[in-house]
């Protein structure tokens, strides 16, 4: 019996991690951020290469989200089968056991990545284009435009 409890606990923790990773990857896509695992170095710096590289980053993150959903589905299926087998084993007392498990799960903190704004304006001055430039980060390079 102890083995089933351990398997359910591990599957539940794995499922929570998958949820957190899916949320993180979705936030990266929405915020146009690139996680370290998705970075690919390409030596050429032409505009076509940069465009392709950006598409590769997005595809890598989307494939990771699909993979995490597949793993989450598999873990949920395992949890369901364990749940059914335990319910059949314990009979009428399973309801009380499940209630105590749910109470303990509600008390556990959730690991969710939070994204904070890069720039916070603590002054009474309102910025327009400057604020947009500051949000792009410290390493952002202003491109010089050609004059005709």
Residue range 44-62, pLDDT digits in tens: 777 888 888 888 888 888 8
Sequence-separated (6 or more) residues with CB below 8 Å from residue 35:
24, 25, 28, 61
Q: Does residue 138 form part of some domain?
A: no
Q: Does residue 141 form part of some domain?
A: no
Overall pTM surpassing 0.75 (yes/no): no
Determine the structural domain holding residue 68 and report its residue range: 2-111
Q: Does residue 39 form part of some domain?
A: yes
- Look at the chain and count its residues: 148
Which pLDDT score, from 0 to 100, does residue 75 have? 81
- Please write the tens of the pLDDT for every residue from 68-121: 888 888 888 888 888 788 777 777 777 777 788 788 777 766 655 666 777 778
Neighbours of 15 (CB within 10 A): 18
Q: Is the model more confident about 31 or about 114? A: 31
Total number of domains in the chain:
1
């Amino acid at each position: 019996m102890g083995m089933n409890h351990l398997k359910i606990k591990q599957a539940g923790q794995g499922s929570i991690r998958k949820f957190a990773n899916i949320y993180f990857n979705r936030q990266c896509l929405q915020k146009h951020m690139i996680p370290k695992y998705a970075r690919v170095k390409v030596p050429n710096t032409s505009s076509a290469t940069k465009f392709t590289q950006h598409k590769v980053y997005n595809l890598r993150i989307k494939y990771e989200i699909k993979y995490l959903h597949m793993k989450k589905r598999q873990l949920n299926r395992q949890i369901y089968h364990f749940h059914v087998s335990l319910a059949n084993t314990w009979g009428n007392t399973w309801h009380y056991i499940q209630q105590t498990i749910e109470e303990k799960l509600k008390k556990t903190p959730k690991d969710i990545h939070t994204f904070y704004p890069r720039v916070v304006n603590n002054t009474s001055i309102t910025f327009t284009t400057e604020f947009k430039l500051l949000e792009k980060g410290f390493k952002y390079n202003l491109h010089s435009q050609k004059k005709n």
